[in-house]
Structure 1
Amino acid sequence: MLRRLLLTAAVSATAVLSWAPGATAGTPSDAPGVSPVPVASPAGPATLFSGGPSSLFPGGVPETARAVSAYGLALPALMPPPARPDDSADRLTVTVDGVGGGADGTFELECHPAGGTLPHAAEACDRLDRMTTWGKDTFAPVPPDALCTMVYGGPATAHVTGTWAGRPVDARYDRSNGCEISRWNALVPVLPGARA
């Protein structure tokens, strides 16, 4: 996607610069038998779509415009294929163990639209949407230097994998101390509510 954006910007910049008054178009002057072609300036104010390219370029459409058009037609063949819908979807696999009460197991969560086998999928997607902010990893682990209370929240563990907001996810959760319990609770109902 970034490559496509950069390539589009480069072609657009070339087109804009070559259409500037006094610019030259065509192939480089060192090409045998070819010299640069001066680009015509608009004769006066033009209305959008008023007379086509000939009204903007009384001397004819510049060679650079033709070249840019040709590149524009050839560029899609050089681009990587678009992402398949499955590649960019918000889709997570949630594996839970040690909670009990039917909450243990492996569940699928799909968002936008909400679905899958995870109980309360719509609420889980809404929770993830609220937690997702630019520049912040929704599934970030507790920092290693965090000061956490020594409270044990039980043997529950969870593993979340998949894709969220276009980024890969591979996060592990437990309830071994106060920070981990808070991190787990922040993700309910993606993770089941658990009590010690």
Structure 2
Amino acid sequence: MLRRLALTAVVTLTAVSAIAPAASASGQVPSALPTSGPLSAAQPAPGPLPVPLPALPSFLKGGGSGGSEKPAARTRLTVTVERSGVAGADGTFELTCGPTGGTHPERQAACDRLAEVGATRAGRDLFRAAPEGTMCTMIYGGDAYARIVGTWEGRSVDTTVTRGDGCEIARWNNLVPVLPDLR
């Protein structure tokens, strides 16, 4: 806090000295600082150089209305589903969130689910397979297979999900509607 106050004081003094230069020997304040040529004793020295400011966060850089550029999606996934047994559910679909888009059949619901899970503790393990040695029930949920590749909330994703045991069925169900509901 003290360092910030000291920096504020330096910036304030710099701005004041640049706006109101000292009076010359004749008592007159020069109307402008010299723009070229060497400095001499008769010319007042220009004020200190401006202090560089840190870069603005991206949300402050003209991201409001009137900007022609769309922000890059923080979530961009390619979802491939095979052998689901649900009409229209198999195939390869693109999903982008923030803004919502792509060819995914339930893109808004999928983005909402990813945002909901991402804000929880479970979000850290959303795309992670069960750790080696985890005890999973030996329930077979069918031949369905999915692969999800891309970025989620800026993090790299490359995972496969099946329905080969209780852990995988739970993972699949946790990813509905990113993956089709097979319950």
Same fold (TM over 0.5): yes
Question: Does residue 152 in structure 1 map to residue 140 in structure 2?
Answer: yes
In 1, Cα distance between equivalents of 2:145 and 2:154? 25
Q: Is the 8 A contact 1:92 1:161 kept in 2?
A: yes
Residue in 1 aligned with 2:126? 138
Question: Does residue 176 in structure 1 map to residue 167 in structure 2?
Answer: no
Residue in 2 aligned with 1:68? 51
Residue identity opposite 1:102 in structure 2? G
Residue in 1 aligned with 2:17? 54
- Percentage identity across paired residues of the two chains: 45
Residue identity opposite 2:92 in structure 1? T
Question: Does residue 115 in structure 1 map to residue 101 in structure 2?
Answer: yes
CA 1:120 to 1:88, structure 2 compared with 1: closer, same or farther past 3 Å?
Answer: closer
Q: Cα RMSD between the aligned structures?
A: 3.8
Structure 1 residue runs of 4+, over 3 Å off?
Answer: 17-20, 55-63, 84-89
In 2, Cα distance between equivalents of 1:61 and 1:189? 64
Question: Equivalent residues in 2 for 1:73-84 (5 A)?
Answer: none
Q: Is the 8 A contact 2:17 2:47 kept in 1?
A: no
Q: Deviations over 1:41-79 (max 9, x none)?
A: 96xxxxxxxxx423999889874xx1634xx69x9xxxx
Residue in 1 aligned with 2:7? 16
Residue in 2 aligned with 1:9? none
Question: Does residue 194 in structure 1 map to residue 182 in structure 2?
Answer: yes
Residue in 2 aligned with 1:36? none
In 2, Cα distance between equivalents of 1:134 and 1:68? 41
Q: Deviations over 1:130-172 (max 9, x none)?
A: 1103772431111112211000011111000111101111111
In 1, Cα distance between equivalents of 2:10 and 2:95? 51
Shift of 1:184: 0.4
Residue in 2 aligned with 1:30? none
In 1, Cα distance between equivalents of 2:79 and 2:149? 7
CA 1:185 to 1:61, structure 2 compared with 1: closer, same or farther past 3 Å?
Answer: farther
Residue identity opposite 1:181 in structure 2? I
Tell me the matched-pair count. 142
- Any stretches of 5+ residues in structure 1 without a counterpart? 1-11, 21-40, 43-51, 76-83
Shift of 1:194: 2.0
SS of the counterpart of 1:68? coil
Residue identity opposite 1:121 in structure 2? R
Using structure 1 for the length normalisation, give the TM-score: 0.59
Residue identity opposite 1:192 in structure 2? P
In 2, Cα distance between equivalents of 1:109 and 1:186? 17
- Structure label with greater radius of gyration: 2
CA 1:142 to 1:171, structure 2 compared with 1: closer, same or farther past 3 Å?
Answer: same
Residue identity opposite 1:147 in structure 2? M
